[in-house]
Chains A and B, each alone.
Chain A
Amino acid sequence: MSDLLFNTSLLDEVDRFQRQMSSLFTGLPSSIRASRLSTFPQINLGSTDDSVEIVAFAPGIDPAKLELTVDKGLLTISGERARVESQSEGRCYAQERFLGTFRRAIELPRDADPDNVKARYVNGCLTISIGKRETSRPRTIAIQ
């Protein structure tokens, strides 16, 4: 009996509950443009020597409805996730997935080149690669 109950992975549920609580009480933004962890899409940001790499985890979106803009060093990802047709009928047991319009802004580092942006949408992940300006790349200076 207990095996049956716990097979629904109780720990995962506890984990989910904890995340919900922490997002309610401790989700104080650290920056004026930062937002809580539960926002959509979730974003990872990293950089290499030649580029700034951003990954937005945005599954199930028509790429035509995704809009990506760079304005004054601010990268904005916006779009809409529409309801699936067949969801309107029948009984609903869970509705956890994000629905509706979204918008996220990321402040780019000063050395990012807004003219050199590449974006791809693969498997529900939007990968954005922004080149860095030539002048900002690390280089060694020859000593004479």
Chain B
Amino acid sequence: MNTQTHLAERNPGAVARHGNAQAQKGPTIVPAVDIYEDAHGITLWADLPGVSRDRLNVHVQDGSLFIEGEASIDTPDGLRLHHAEIREPRFARAFSLSADFDTSKIDANLNDGVLKLSIPRREEARPRRIEVSVG
């Protein structure tokens, strides 16, 4: 049993694994993002309407950043849906992070359905000016 899961993990068929995970959880929406980089690091904004703090899951694993969230909207009982532009209120998106970023210092802030992630560069990866001495 143990060896079996090990083998499956080592299998590079990530697409198949992803497909399985999707089949279990159902379809998800890819949230729209803005990504900007400056000297301090990367800032990412993601639209996650209806997602509250406790239903949002941001984690870093094996150099990838995962954003997952589920929207919950208060609706009265007996609601019949007539028109839906968002059918599955589940958001998921993943990004690969380079080693330049300090994943232990990621700052996440959720406000009015917008997630703001600040991913700082490692101290040694920050751009710096090198003084040129005339010799």
Within 8 Å of chain B (Cβ to Cβ): is A10?
Answer: yes
Q: With contacts defined as CB atoms under 8 Å apart, how many contacts are there between chain A and chain B in the complex?
A: 159
Instruction: Count residues of A near B (Cβ-Cβ below 8 Å).
Output: 52
Interface residue A68 (Cβ < 8 Å from any Cβ of B): no
**Do A6 and B14 touch across chains, with their CB atoms under 8 A apart?**
yes
Q: Tell me if B15 counts as interface (CB < 8 A to partner A).
A: yes
| Bound CA–CA A93/B96 (angstroms) | 14
Of residues 1 through 45 on chain A, the ones whose CB sits less than 8 Å from some CB of chain B are: 1-4, 6-13, 15-16, 37, 41-45
Q: Is B92 an interface residue (CB 8 A)?
A: yes
Interface residues on B, range: 35 or more
CA distance A96 to B79 in the complex (A): 32
Which residues in window 67-87 of B have CB below 8 A to A? 71, 73-86
Flag if B85 contacts A12 (CB, 8 Å). no
Cβ contacts under 8 Å, A7 to chain B: 14, 62-64, 94, 96
Bound complex: CA A8 to CA B134 (Å): 47
Distance of A53 Cα from B78 Cα, bound (Å): 11
CA of A37 to CA of B81 in the docked complex: distance in angstroms? 17
Q: By the criterion CB–CB under 8 Å, are A97 and B32 in contact? A: yes
Task: Identify which of A2, A51, A94 gathers the most chain B CB atoms within 10 Å of its CB.
Answer: A94
* Alpha-carbon gap, A94 to B51, bound state (A): 22
Give CA–CA (A92, B96) in the complex, Å. Answer: 17
A sample of 8 inter-chain contacts (CB < 8 A) reads A7-B62, A9-B18, A11-B19, A12-B92, A44-B86, A57-B86, A60-B111, A124-B114
> Footprint of B on A, CB under 8 Å?
1-4, 6-13, 15-16, 37, 41-49, 51, 53, 55, 57-61, 84, 86-87, 89-98, 121-125, 127, 129
